[in-house]
Amino acid sequence: MVVHCLGVRSEPEKLRNSCKMSFETIGNTLAAECAEGKYRLWKHELLAHNEAELSRLLIDVRPFLFPS
Annotated domain spans of the chain: 15-65
DSSP annotation string for 2-68: -------SS-HHHHHHHHT--HHHHHHHHHHHHHHT--TGGGSTTTGGGHHHHHHHHHHHHHHHS--
Q: What is the pTM of this model?
A: 0.87
What tens digit of pLDDT does each residue of 1-20 get? 889 999 999 999 999 999 99
- pLDDT tens digits for 20-47? 999 999 999 999 999 999 999 999 999 9
